[in-house]
Structure 1
Amino acid sequence: MVVNKLISFRLGIILNSELRQSKKVFVSIKPLSAKCYHTLPKVLHQHSHVTPIGNRVGNCFLAPNILSRAMSGSKSLSVNYDDVVKAQGDKDILIIDVREVSEIQETGQLPGSIHIPMNDVVNELNLSKENFKNKYSREKPALADKIIVSCKSGRRSAWVQSEIQKIGYSNSYNYDGGWLDWEKHQKALNAINARKRVL
């Protein structure tokens, strides 16, 4: 597979963004070939030690969402816990919890979100404005509106982010830490409040 200069450039941007967040997004099963060096950013050479997954580019393996984002030109936008807290008070931002029904039943959905399982998000965003509002008690977002997607750890929601960007929702963000990050911060906050009550 030959990757042109534009795709290679996009991969460089996406991979550097992912690596700053310590994500294991790509691997190589063997030392990278000369073809890989010419095709992909040199940053690959420093991170080639985890389990192979996804699509092959030369002798490199990329997580499917990374390669598809590079080839489609979709943006890598992410939010953290503080961003999500702020978004929960903003009626113009739609937060979508994309975990499965069984997960929601176990933990409850992310506060301030609507729940749409990951494989249904694209179809639901294609509903008419009237049907969307009737189903979710929220206005259907316009293509330019901000959307935050969240799952358990940020991996599935990254895929959803890529898919909804393809249908025009370019201002969509992934909550990188997902429910696990939310839960961690909530437990820490509860512990601080408990100590305050004791004092």
Structure 2
Amino acid sequence: MPDYPPTIPALHVTEPSLAVQSSGGMPMMVEDDNKDVPWDVEEEITYEQVKKWSEDTESGVILIDVREAPDFEIGHIPHSKNLPLSIFEQALSKDQVDFVRTYGFPKPGSEEKIVLYCRSGRRSTIAADLASGAGFSRVRNYKGSWLEYEAKSGAQAGAAKSA
């Protein structure tokens, strides 16, 4: 085992959920909060993952529905926010104060974990490209979107209201 400076204890990696990150040139071990999520690779987001995040408001994952407000109001994934594709690019350019005032929730940071969805995956694919182009590096698209979520969860229209 390598000799580490006294301020950084040597760690044995016994869990695959631990990741190595660099801090000021020194490697350090950190636990990945969402170890089942491939945020840095292009793997598909699953219904099971989305269901878990919709039930855990402390997961650190922001669910954003890019459908228009009337569709969102009929039914949506619990705890998701609404930011329609028609104003998505404009919204991302707003500062934090204007964003909150206009959309009613804090603007996600460029490093926050964001999952976008719509009705079928088409609009959320476009929104994911727009977000990536605007510098958001941890944006994923739930391609199954509302149709899959509603079918698998048994949610009825209007029954998936967020708190």
**Structure 1 unaligned runs (5+)?**
1-74, 191-199
Q: Does structure 1 residue 97 correspond to structure 2 residue 65? A: yes
Higher helix share: 1
Instruction: Call closer, same or farther: CA 1:78–1:127 in 2, change over 3 Å.
Output: farther
State whether residues 83 and 103 of structure 2, in contact with CA within 8 Å, keep that contact through their aligned partners in structure 1. no
Secondary structure at the aligned position of 1:110 is classed as coil
Q: CA offset at residue 95 of structure 1?
A: 1.2
For 1:153 and 1:185, how far apart are their aligned partners in 2?
A: 14
CA RMSD after TM alignment? 2.2
Between the two proteins, what is the percent identity of the paired residues? 29
Aligned amino acid, residue 47 of structure 2: Y
Q: Paired residue for 2:46?
A: 80
Q: Paired residue for 2:113?
A: 146
For 2:62 and 2:140, how far apart are their aligned partners in 1?
A: 10
Q: Does structure 1 residue 177 correspond to structure 2 residue 144? A: yes
Cα offsets for 1:31-55 (capped at 9, x unmatched): xxxxxxxxxxxxxxxxxxxxxxxxx
State whether residues 94 and 146 of structure 1, in contact with CA within 8 Å, keep that contact through their aligned partners in structure 2. yes
Instruction: Call closer, same or farther: CA 1:77–1:136 in 2, change over 3 Å.
Output: farther
Deviates more, 1:166-175 or 1:130-139: 130-139
Q: TM-score, normalised by structure 2?
A: 0.61
Q: CA offset at residue 77 of structure 1?
A: 5.2
State whether residues 111 and 138 of structure 2, in contact with CA within 8 Å, keep that contact through their aligned partners in structure 1. yes
Aligned amino acid, residue 103 of structure 1: D
Aligned amino acid, residue 111 of structure 2: A
For 2:76 and 2:127, how far apart are their aligned partners in 1?
A: 17
Secondary structure at the aligned position of 1:185 is classed as helix
For 2:105 and 2:52, how far apart are their aligned partners in 1?
A: 18
